[in-house]
Amino acid sequence: MVNYIGRRLLQLIPVLLGMTFVVFMIIRAIPGDPAQVILGQLASKEAVEALRAKLGLDNPWYIQYFEYLGGLLQGDLGESLRTKQPVAEEVWPYLAATFELAFFAILIAVIIGVNAGIISAWFQNSWFDYTAMVLALVGVSMPIFWLGLMEQWIFAIELGWFPTSGREDVRNPISAQSGFYILDTIMQGRFDQLGQVLRHLVLPGIALATIPMAIIARMTRSSMLEVMRSDYIRTARAKGQKMFWVVYKHALKNAVIPVLTVIGLQMGLLLGGAILTETIFSWPGIGRYVYEAIQFRDYPVIQSGILIIAFIFVMINLIVDILYGLIDPRIKYD
């Protein structure tokens, strides 16, 4: 297991290096000049050229790339062209916000999706099975931006149950320490603010969880149906064990590997694909941070944001692979 983890960590090096190069080249293919965007359209050509030279944008692309790579190897993600702040310091609050939203969404998706898939397989061809699978199909097909707008209209504007946007009540701001508002409010004993944070999480969390929930439910049902036909399940039932324990103790344990794969992939996608949800609900996450950087041609922010998301995605896949062996002892790492 240790050798396997070591090999996988070493494999991260060429993957991340390749990612830095691909992202570097694609970003520079985006139309527009960062110096022109910073100074505005009315800036003189001399001022634009002077700013390009100051930012190093007049150097050949390979010199810019190796300068960026050299700083990256030293833990320096560069400096934002727009705010003049180090990206490493500036990015954390946005990353923490996306982590909090993605964790809340995947928690909803796993709890509801897995149980819906299990019950659908348990009562195959029942009204619950048909209803759950139709809802799962609708969930996969439903655009997040439409669902988010409908949530805001019904539950925020019409009913007034939840806020329409943001992470906190601006009239009662949170004293953030870690960047994770739920953790901060609990540590400070501010349970009134904890309620505010959870209320702000509900609508974007449900919108973001809809597609993963549907995919997890369908995969769980498919995997459970295959396992439920196994001989050892028939034996357990023949011994008189309660169906609940047969399903959740014996069948689920052997059906969880493909489900775990889907959960890992969806978690990675949530971290990098929450930009629509963050935009609709004005959630200050990493997706919105990178989106705004693209508008200003802020190269260091875009490169660092995408690289961080890619690193997290690969690490989640590594954790899922390790969990395989812990859940199913038949899986060996040679």
Both 110 and 48 in one domain: the answer is: no
Same domain, 121 and 224: yes
Shared domain for 201 and 252, answered yes or no, is yes
Angle at which helix 191-228 crosses helix 127-141, to 10 degrees, equals: 120
Same domain, 167 and 225: yes
Residue 124 lies in a domain: yes
- Which pLDDT score, from 0 to 100, does residue 1 have? 64
pLDDT number for residue 256: 80
The answer to whether position 289 is within a domain reads yes
Q: What is the pLDDT of residue 184?
A: 82
- The answer on 234 and 160 residing in a single domain is yes
Which pTM value belongs to this model? Answer: 0.80
Q: Are 77 and 91 in contact (CB under 8 A)?
A: yes
The rounded Cα 224 to chain-centroid distance in angstroms is: 26
Question: What pLDDT does residue 308 have?
Answer: 82
Q: What total of structural domains would you count in the chain?
A: 2
Look at residue 147 in the predicted model and tell me its pLDDT.
85
For residue 63, the enclosing domain spans: 2-73
What's the pLDDT score for residue 303? Answer: 80
109 & 17 share domain: no
Which residues of the chain have a pLDDT value below 50? none
Please report, to the nearest 10 degrees, the dihedral formed by the alpha carbons of residues 153, 158, 160, 166 taken in order. 20
Q: Is 173 left (phi over 0), alpha (psi -120 to 50) or beta?
A: beta
The pLDDT value given to residue 284:
85
Residues 138 and 189 in one domain: yes
87 falls within a domain: no
Q: What is the pLDDT of residues 84-115, one digit of tens each?
A: 788 888 888 888 888 888 888 989 989 998 88
Asked if residue 318 and residue 214 are part of one domain, the reply reads: yes
- pLDDT for 199-223, tens place per residue? 888 888 888 888 888 888 888 888 8
Same domain flag for 49 and 164: no
